[in-house]
Structure 1
Amino acid sequence: MKKNKKCYLIHRLYSFLIFFLLANTVIAGTNKKQDIFDLPLTQLVNVEVQSASRFKQKSSEAPSSVEVLTAEDIRSFNWRTLSDALNAIRGLYVRNDRNYTYLGVRGFGPVGEYNSRILIMINGRRMNDAIFDQGFLGEDFMLDMNIIDRIEYIPGSGSSIYGANALLGVINVITKQGKDINGLRLTGEVGSQDTYRGRFTYGKQWDNGVNLLFNASQFSSRGNGSLFFPEFIDTNNGIARNLDRERSSRLFGQLSYRGFTLSAGYVDRSKQIPTASFGAIFNDKPFTMVDRQTFVDLDYNTSINANLALQLRGFHHWYDYHSNEVYLNTNNEAASYRAINKDATSARWWGGEFKLIGTHFENHKWITGIDFQYDQRQRMTNFDYVPEYLLFNQSNNHGVRVGGYLQDEYRISDNLMLNLGIRVDHHHLIKNIQVNPRVGLIWNITPTLTGKLLYGSAFRAPNIYERDYILLDTNVSNPNNRQELIKSYQAIVEWYPTDGIRFLSTLFFNDLSKLLIQNPYPDPDPDSKKFMNGGGARSLGFELQGEKRWDNGRLFKISWTYNNTDMRDDFLNNHWSKAINSPQNLVKAHYAEPLFNNRLRLGFEEIFVDNRQTLGHHSASAYHIFNINLSLTKPIYGFEASLGLYNVLNQHPQMVGGPEHIQDVIRMDGRTVRFRLEKSF
């Protein structure tokens, strides 16, 4: 009965959206006779994107149902981290275990992995690390939100253009330029749970064309000082005290001159873990994880002639992680004892890319390129150092990843376009060459209505953690695991009826096979406890979205994603069953209203996430998150400010626990507040 009522309310909400936006369409149509293609792209919300095909094109012509969040959206809703922004996008949902933030896509959000099935990029540069293939989303992400110009989300398999990790989609975060800042900005933030952030931002473009952007920030938060976990009721009454602290430091710089762009970034983030995950002793000495990332990147873009452009790129990345954990060692048959364990990784990788974009042939726009990455160091170690030194794991690897791709955008007629792409990859962690195609048929049915039929395949190679880490007290690593595969099908309809309005509907089917699963079930064979290819997933669903943007900055957007996702675990049984951490319904609504001649802006955000099945075969309850933000958008004496109220209704969402947790669900915080004050010079 509850399920039927919930679906009825969702249908009513979407019906209201269609009525509201169509009413605005009729009114706008009676007052404007200008041809729709004469309007600016930003007014049409048919924005220019560059991530779907690696070159700029209108979103209606991209071989995907692209979603774009702008700097204006970030300011309107005061998203604190990249994960906050992604949680606002249709089809995406986040899970937090009071350590890292994880991303689910269209009902597929398995626990026990580190965002390795989605590709995270900054300005088109791959940011997933070379140990866990992890895409960082929270305070461990490289950028502060104030220097992000836009976020492009490309759903569907992306290996035909980007290679490994683009299994479920691509997220490209594009930074502002120095001219967008045009001066010095000093920012201070204060919030609930003794949360503070200080930030220094400088940007400028000189007359000779040199463009400089620099940003530095420091973040700290006490976190929740008293967390109750009923699973540990016999220890300190189940309360973890002062074990939720987090801090981060960031640096980012970008210098551009003519065709050259030099970028560099650094982030150092530490987080205390209050959940006693990975067998830690509850409420003991702080269990802390530290992640440090650094990158340097040099790009060169030039036009060889009117029909040919060249792009070159070289990069070097660093990643280091370590943790210290107090646990009870029970391997001694005589007596167990308290031990302190250190887990650490270190990675270094460098590479480059060569890319050509051409329009030599009539009605064709093609792109071809080669990218190369040398994983110079992939080192992992795990050992006890108290009360004595005991080595449990040590590995050191290296290898090469190289891929070549070709894509052609062929305009068959004025209203029909065929997008074909193929990529060939060699990855040192798998034996076979990977070939992944993409086919997209894009039909402009009318000047304002577009239909798309898309197919693509993708792969994900096992990462070094899944390949070499010795798990669950076994003495054997995982030399024989292979790549995961996906086939993705999408049917898309986009309608731009008039100025600033967009309707979107998608029907999608994802078929994943050879999923890597860490088998947690007891078995005398140690191989059964490792990451092995033994699963599959199927996801069928649809997305509906309506969006209206006014010239004065007003915004109304609502989306509904429905999916039915099943998984098969061959280690447990060979039957299809409801996927873990898979909400069947996601409903998201956003409204921003300018006040007092757009001097102030009021933003409302509502996110509904359906219930999700846990590893213990229970249900994590559905929840609503309602946020309000009030921001000063026109500076007063150089000052800007914002006040954000998050989780206004004081809900405590239940997040699904992973295999490393005793907790089946992990309770999140309630209402929080953040105030930001910024001074421009």
Structure 2
Amino acid sequence: MKKTIPFLFATLFGFEQAQAQNSQPDTLRVIGLSEVVVSANRVQERKADIPQQIDVLRAAQIRLQNPMTTADALINTGQVFVQKSQFGGGSPVIRGFEANKILLVVDGVRMNNAIYRAGHLQNILSTDANVMDRIEVLSGAGSVLYGTDALGGVISILTKNPLLADSTSATQPRVHTNNLLRYGTAAKEKTAHTDISLGWEKFGSLTSITASDFDDLRKGRRPYKSFPSFGENLRYVERQDGKDVVVPNDNVNIQRQSGYRQLSVLQKFLYRPSATQQHTLNVQYSTTSDVPRYDRLQEYRNGNLRFAEWNYGPEKRFFASYQFQYSRPTRFFDMVRLTPAVQKVNESRLSRAFGNVNRDENLEEVKIGSLNLDLFKQIGKHELRYGAEATHNKVESTGRRVNIDTGASTGIATRYPNGSTYATQGVYASHNWEITPQLILSDGLRFSAVQLKANFNPEFFKSSLLNSDQESSSLNGNLGLVWMLPAGFRVSGLLSTGFRNPNLDDVSKTFEQNNGTLIVPNPNLKPEQIFYREAELSNTIEGKLHVAVTGFYSTLTDAIVVRPFTAPDGSTTTVYNGQNFTTVANTNANKARIYGVSGRFNAALFNHWSAQATATYTNGRVLSTDVPLDHIPPIYGRGAITYKDRKLTAEASMLFNGRKGVADYSPSGEDNLIQNTPVGALGWQTFNLRTTYQVTKGWSVQSGLENILDQSYRPFASGINAAGRNFYLAVRFEH
């Protein structure tokens, strides 16, 4: 370690001297409010005109960060908190909302489906960070443009497109390829990526493949003084000679049974017959190996490890969309975009108690069809965006108990009612009015309708709550104002309403929690409603400085929270898969509130240097019962200094999280207090260095040292310790 840090600082600063002798100084520019974004209004719009906080993570930033997964890319921004129950996980938290209260969108199509759960959700890992053009994070309610689920915000992921040739080289295709090999020490990570774009004047193709292999994750060796053994993996279970055996861990810092593998493939075809017309076929596929649920595998009962197996089975995501875009002024629109899409998602949960030869397997398959229509029309100083969306989900849920010795299989209770359907429809209109060049008004309305049909098979689940058929509708609106002041100052404000309709996971799921209770169905759930306020003061010197402070306040009505549950027949316990459980259920709390503040700073310092910083504080409480709300992280953020020259880019950064005491935890159990220290989540900070050096026009070498001090820590609500000191080395070839 004593030799490593001086070497990396020499890499960071020594190259500066070499570059200064061989090149002219460059001025590092800061991208400010002139940037164009698409997540706020579904079509391109200047960031300065939008009264809501939007953070953009561009391909160049993702490339410098060299993240293992998309979840890690979000962590490295310092603007999004991410929870992990296992190494193969990553559940973003925005404005105090998580999982199915945040909308994930890929290339304009919603990823959220009928079984997106309220706890912690790792589906964002099925997207490939190596083929992304940009990630846009819209913080705060986004229901007017996107419908249900966008209570906390929208994470809009845009993948790369094929590069077309210009008209002067129409006979020769434009060829562009990008290749990566990366190795990381903390998990013995091995990642290989390749993509190739072939483009003619009117037609282009992009093919991308990424494969990753992660071994068991090593946590930091430098413990907290007050809890020196916290997070140590003392023992684990192996199957030896047909028996489950508890094996002492020869290295307590290696979190045994946490590794996994992943494969992602993307294929795009782009056809542009004219300047006004474009057709895009977009096919994506991702799959994983079994992903060990680390927190469950380290769960003890009566002093013994409880499970011999607890894995998420291979998660497979198939996505296909066709997008037609036509841009030509007509009476009704200047641009129209139509996007039909289909998705198929397979996931499973595989668990087996220690010493038991029977493995319980719950397998889910979700088929989703969707259609998006988006139109844009400009009339003088008025911009009108309007459209419609429809989705339909069908869920096939299977439960079986398999004898691992004989292969014999019998049926058990399913996690969800088999054959359930979940459908949404919505129409929206959004309007911007440039009253003056300094004053911009925005407003919008959306009407949404949702239908859910679900019926449990009473053969396996004895309950009076077997049928869950629902229909609901919602009318939402927003009103925002942007005021450009002298000297680069800007004031913006937003009032917005939103909703999230209970999906199949909310209404009809059965699931054993970490604390030993059983979540049972509650067909009487109502939609959650939010009234969101946001105000921001910022100052921008274009290309040099951007600093902003944003305050937000949300009032959540009929908030869905997990609470003790009494069935209509008066029972508070139930028998499930042969065991008797105390029952809890998702219920509507009367009212909750979430408020907080975030700050961002981005400045070009001098010549090659720039600085960035961000911090977010959030507080949430259920007002009807006066208890903390779940999914509220402690204060978190990031600070960084970046150096960039023609051949070298280097960054020194710090990520930090504050402390969260036991009294601030929600009683629901969702925040996994049982997985943390007796005093709650401890604060932490990591120091990191990253460099990219352009060896030749096509070849570059990247290296980094993350968590330099090798701190052992576990982020709030997580079930696994984060990586210890991680040195990575990557080689890229781009042509």
Q: Structures share a fold, TM > 0.5?
A: yes
Paired residue for 1:458? 498
Write out per-residue CA displacement over residues 12-58 of structure 1, whole angstroms, 9 at most, x where no aligned residue: xxxxxxxxxxxxxxxxxxxxxxxxxxx99975453111111122222
Listed one character per residue, the Cα deviations across residues 212-252 of structure 1 (whole Å, up to 9, x for unaligned) are 22100111111237973579999656879741121101101
Query: Match of 2:426?
Result: 403
Q: Is the 8 A contact 2:395 2:419 kept in 1?
A: yes
* % identical equivalent positions: 19
Q: Is the 8 A contact 1:43 1:551 kept in 2?
A: no
Question: 1:219 aligned to 212, 225, 234, which one?
Answer: 212
What is the aligned partner in structure 1 of residue 334 from structure 2?
308
Q: Give the superposition deviation at 1:100.
A: 2.1
Contact 2:687 2:707 in 1 (8 A): yes
Whether contact under 8 Å (1:91, 1:561) holds in the other structure is yes
Give, as a single letter, the amino acid of the residue that structure 2 aligns with 1:303: S
The amino acid that maps onto 2:292 is Q
1:25 is matched with none
Relative to structure 1, the CA distance from residue 232 to residue 201 in structure 2 (aligned partners, 3 Å threshold; closer, same or farther) is closer
1:679 and 1:255, CA in 2 relative to 1: closer, same or farther beyond 3 A?
Answer: same
1:582-635: CA deviation from partner (whole Å, max 9, x where unpaired): 3442231122112xx421111122111111245358411011122211112x35
Match of 2:390 in 1: 372
Alignment of 1:391 onto 2:436: no
Partners of 2:631 and 2:656 lie apart in 1 by 15
Which residue of 2 is the match for residue 167 of structure 1? Answer: 151
Deviations 1:112-143 (A, max 9, x none): xxx11111112222122332268998696344
Q: For the structure 1 residues 241 and 338, does the alpha-carbon distance in structure 2 shift closer, same or farther, using more than 3 Å as the test?
A: farther
Distance 1:118 1:609, change over 3 A: same
Kept after mapping to 1: 8 A contact 2:90/2:124: no
Given candidates 450, 453, 475, the residue that maps to 1:435 is 475
Judged with a 3 Å threshold, the aligned counterparts in structure 2 of structure 1 residues 541 and 338 are, in CA distance, closer, same or farther, namely same
- Alpha-carbon distance between aligned partners in 2 of 1:314 and 1:508, rounded to the nearest angstrom: 35
Deviation for aligned residue 1:468: 2.0
Match of 1:593 in 2: 643
Of 648, 655, 659, the residue aligned with 1:611 is 659
* Deviation, structure 1 residue 157: 0.1
Distance (whole Å) between structure 2 residues aligned to residue 91 and residue 638 of structure 1: 32
Give 1:158 deviation, angstroms: 0.3
Q: Matches of 2:141 and 2:562 in 1, distance apart?
A: 23
Q: TM-score when scaled to structure 1?
A: 0.82
- Cα distance in 2 for residues equivalent to 1:175 and 1:337: 45
- Secondary structure of residue in 2 paired with 1:60: helix
Structure 1 counterpart of 2:691, which letter?
A: L
Which residue of the other structure, out of 81, 85, 88, is the alignment partner of 1:93? 81
Q: Residue 6 of structure 2 aligns with which residue?
A: none
Letter matched to residue 538 of structure 2: E
* Separation in 1, partners of 2:562, 2:298: 14
Length, aligned pairs only: 614
Residue in structure 2 matched with residue 103 of structure 1 by the alignment: 92
SS of alignment partner, residue 592 of structure 1: strand
After superposition, residues 492-641 of structure 1 pair within 5 angstroms as 492-519=536-563, 524-526=571-573, 529-534=584-589, 536-549=591-604, 554-567=609-622, 574-580=624-630, 582-594=632-644, 597-613=645-661, 614=665, 615=673, 618-632=679-693, 634-636=694-696, 638-641=698-701
| In the alignment, structure 1 residue 295 sits paired with structure 2 residue 342 | no
Provide TM-score, normalisation by structure 2. Answer: 0.77
| Residues 67-120 of structure 1: CA deviation (Å, up to 9, x unaligned) | 1122222223323322222224455211111152112223x256xxxx111111
Q: Which residue of 1 aligns with 2:71?
A: 83
Aligned residue in 1 for 2:196: 202
Matched, 1:249 2:263: yes
The superposition leaves residues 483-537 of structure 1 with CA deviations (integer Å, 9 ceiling, x where unpaired) of 1221110011221134331111111111223222233689942595222223643
The aligned counterpart of 1:120 is 104
Unaligned runs of 5+ in 2: 1-26, 165-173, 220-230, 238-244, 273-277, 453-469, 575-582, 666-672
Q: What letter is aligned with 2:402?
A: Y
Q: Give the alignment's Cα RMSD to 1 decimal.
A: 3.3
Q: Which whole-Å CA distance do the structure 1 matches of 2:696 and 2:175 have between them? A: 17
The answer to whether 1:677 aligns with 2:681 is no
C-alpha contact (below 8 Å) 1:653/1:668 kept by paired residues: yes
Cα distance 1:561–1:447, how it changes in 2: closer, same or farther (>3 A)? Answer: same
Taking the aligned partners of 1:261 and 1:178, their CA distance within structure 2 comes to: 10
Which residue, out of 136, 139, 155, partners 1:155? 139
- The 1:42–1:672 alpha-carbon spacing in structure 2 relative to 1, beyond 3 Å, is closer
1:317 aligned to which of 311, 333, 343: 343
Alpha-carbon offset, residue 156 of structure 1: 0.8
Distance 2:540 2:124 in 1: 37
Q: Aligned-pair distance for 1:262?
A: 1.1
Matches of 1:133 and 1:204, distance apart in 2: 40
Aligned to 1:356: 375
* Structure 1 unpaired stretches of 5+: 1-38, 329-335, 569-573, 659-664
| 1:381 corresponding residue in structure 2 | 398
State the distance in 2 between where 1:91 and 1:598 align: 28
Q: 1:162 to 1:133 in 2, by over 3 A?
A: farther
Deviations 1:157-187 (A, max 9, x none): 0001100111101111222233399422332
Task: Summarize the Cα distance change of 1:70–1:388 in structure 2 as closer, same or farther, 3 Å threshold.
Answer: closer
Rate the CA distance shift 1:566–1:133 in 2: closer, same or farther, 3 A: closer
Q: Which residue of 2 aligns with 1:11?
A: none
| 1: CA distance, partners of 2:36 / 2:519 | 52
Shift of 1:474: 7.0
SS at match of 2:163: helix
CA distance in 1, matches of 2:38, 2:119: 20
Correspondence list, 1:261-280, <5 A? 261-270=280-289, 271-276=291-296
